[in-house]
Amino acid sequence: MRAIPQKIHILKFIGEQGIVTIQDVSRHLYNEDKYSYVRVTMYELGIAHLKFRDIPNGVWFIDNQDLYDRLKDCFKGFPRIIVKPPILNHLLHYLELNRIRTTFTKSNLISLDEWWSENYLRALSLEERGNFDHSVIPDAIFWLKGRDGSRQKYFLEYERTLKNPQRYELIFNFYAKRHDVKDRNVIYICATQRIKRELQKIEERLAKHGKIPGVGLYFQFITLDGFYREHSTTNNTITQGDKNYVQQAQKDYAFV
């Protein structure tokens, strides 16, 4: 079987994540010094881009259905993602998720085996994506690889801003009823300590009123800053609460 060209791997990352910067692609697939190569390749592929704030060369996304169809031809099982215009007020959310994914991928604490982004999940059938309807699709589903070759499934939610409390109650109840949610495998990465505290209060309130079985069974709440510090090569001081989800994974899963 012929090797898949590097430009197609670039196209795949863009297709999965939905919207990226050149730095996102360089950091994820190569190193920062590949910036120029990635920029030229993205131009050659015909990836659309637009200016956004002060980001060098702006943000990039696929607006040509033929490019998505190339991915389906190159990668067995890749879903047919339909071209949609980027939602501009969600850009900062999407761009942070790119960085979160790359941090997981390059972490020396865990062995990431597979990643399904929201863009990827939305292209799957309801059954294939695990009966998540469009109102409750997570930001990502990913799997860690164990020492014995087994895989552990995780659900990722990145909270850049707070939603309505009733919305969280609906989502928490949905997760708590799933057969594949257990051992705190729903990870909420919170942009601020305030968001983290508010989500913990909602979980406690639901448990107190008997709407979920208890606290600490399904969810982990960590700060964005704590997440990056824990997975960086220069591991700075971090609170014990932000370490919990990594310590849980360390019990059963091999590290890179």
Residues 109-135 pLDDT 10s: 888 999 999 999 999 999 999 999 888
pLDDT of 9 over the 60 cut: yes
Where does residue 208 fall: left (phi above 0), alpha (psi -120 to 50 degrees), or beta otherwise? alpha
Q: Tokens 């990870």 sit at which residue?
A: 187
Q: Tokens 């943000």 sit at which residue?
A: 59
Rounded CA-CA distance 229/233 in Å is 8
Residues 167-180 pLDDT 10s: 999 999 999 999 99
Rounded CA-CA distance 191/196 in Å is 8
pTM, entire model: 0.89
Residue type at position 192: T
pLDDT of 40 over the 60 cut: yes
pLDDT of 18 over the 50 cut: yes
pLDDT of the residue at 39 = 97
DSSP codes joined into one string, 189-239: EESSHHHHHHHHHHHHHHHHTTSSS-SSSSEEEEEHHHHHHHHSSS-----
What DSSP designation does 247 have? H
Check: CB of residue 233 under 8 Å from CB of residue 91.
no
pLDDT of 211 over the 80 cut: yes
Residues 6+ apart with CB under 8 A from 221: 188, 190, 196, 199, 200, 203, 241
Check: CB of residue 117 under 8 Å from CB of residue 97.
yes
The count of C-alpha atoms lying within 13 angstroms of the C-alpha of 228, restricted to the half-sphere facing its C-beta, is 11
Q: What confidence category does residue 198 fall into, taking pLDDT thresholds of 50, 70 and 90?
A: very high
The proportion of the chain whose per-residue pLDDT surpasses 90, expressed as a percent, equals 77
pLDDT of 237 over the 80 cut: no
- Residue predicted with more confidence, 162 or 2: 162
Q: What is the mean pLDDT of the segment spanning 16-43?
A: 95
pLDDT of 247 over the 70 cut: no
- Quote the distance between the C-alpha of residue 106 and its chain's center: 13
pLDDT of the residue at 233 = 54
- 14, 18, 20, 25: CA torsion to nearest 10: -30
pLDDT of the residue at 88 = 87
pLDDT of the residue at 255 = 32
pLDDT of 243 over the 60 cut: no
Residues 185-197 pLDDT 10s: 999 999 999 999 9
Which helix or strand (DSSP H or E) is residue 36 part of? helix 35-45
pLDDT of the residue at 150 = 87
pLDDT of 1 over the 70 cut: no
Where in the chain are the domains?
6-86, 92-252
Name the average pLDDT for the chain: 89
pLDDT of 250 over the 80 cut: no
Residues 6+ apart with CB under 8 A from 86: 18, 19, 50, 59, 61, 94
Q: Does domain 6-86 have CATH number 1.10.1060?
A: no
Q: Copy the structure tokens of residue 34.
A: 């590949």
Q: Tokens 């300590």 sit at which residue?
A: 193
The count of C-alpha atoms lying within 13 angstroms of the C-alpha of 193, restricted to the half-sphere facing its C-beta, is 4
pLDDT of the residue at 26 = 96
